[in-house]
Amino acid sequence: MVRRYIRVKIVCDHKLTNEQFHEILDNASRRYFGQLGVSRIDPRIVRFDAESLEAIVSCESSAAHEFESALSLITSYAEAPISLLVLRVSGTVKGAARGRK
């Protein structure tokens, strides 16, 4: 299975844990594409940096634009505003991490 790796910046004013971030991704994918969509997208967290609020997430290559759409529609978590900014999309983890400060 070919996967796409997406580097995202988390824009929020509070700290997040890996579990919370996972919940955010899962909820967003489920909300907009349903259970079947989640199985097709198969979102996973590859790297998560709680300090810089940056992460590399991966999904099935064929559902990459659906996953990116779901990421775009995230606006809040636990009643606090949050948004995700896709910085780079690549076929490898190394490619996705490129240009990272």
Partner 1 sequence: MGKYVDLHVIPRPDDAQSCERMAELLRTANYTTVGLTVATGLLKDRITFVRRIFEERGVSTALRADFKPTSRTELLRLLRRFRNLYDVVAVQCLNQQVATVSCRDRRVDLVFFDIANRNLRFSHTFARLLRGAVEFNLVSDLTAQDDPWVFSRFRKAIMVAREHHVNVVLSSGARNYEMVRSPFQISALAMSLGLGHEESIKGVSSIPSAIVTQNRKKRSPQYVEEGVKIVVPSVP
Q: Taking the chain, what is the end-to-end CA distance rounded to the nearest angstrom?
A: 30
Amino acid symbol at 72: S
**Binding residue for partner 1 (CB under 8 A) from 68, 90, 95, 97?**
68
Q: Name which of 23 and 68 has its Cβ closer to partner 1.
A: 68
**Binding residue for partner 1 (CB under 8 A) from 10, 28, 38, 71?**
71
Angle at CA 98, nearest 5°, toward 65 and 100?
100
Interacting residues with partner 1 (CB under 8 A): 9, 11, 64-66, 68-69, 71-73, 75, 81-83, 85-87, 89
